[in-house]
Amino acid sequence: CDQLNMLQYSTYSVISPEGCASILWRTAEKAPDAAEAMGITAERLKDLGIVDQVIAEPLGGAHRDPAAASESIRQELTKQLASLQEHDTDALLKRRYDRLMSYGIA
């Protein structure tokens, strides 16, 4: 992908914290510890370079004001699409490939 965005209060993971805790500690009660170790929050994933942009949510979360959340998303995507139009297709494809290949490299 060219840009990976996350809403401010969203999480991104291949397994739930409860599932991870059940595997590692044999109890789902350690889910908060697992969530912290997994680094599944938008800000943490941005710090790790996986997420490019964290999109602000309305007070209380996107579900409290879907129209405002949608407007925030629209504004960010419009800005990003305009930026992408400045690059040719080959450059975008190379950048996508390089990005994907960099995941997991310390």
Write down the domain spans for the chain: 5-102
How many beta carbons lie within 10 A of that of residue 70, not counting itself? Answer: 11
Interval 79-106: pLDDT, tens: 999 999 999 999 999 999 999 898 877 6
Q: What is Dmax (Cα atoms) for the chain?
A: 51
Interval 24-44: pLDDT, tens: 999 999 999 999 999 999 999
Q: Take residue 12 and report the two structure tokens written for it.
A: 């991104």
- Residue 35 to residue 93: CA distance in whole angstroms: 33
- Residue 48, amino acid: L
Output the pTM of the full model.
Answer: 0.82
- Residue 18 to residue 80: CA distance in whole angstroms: 35
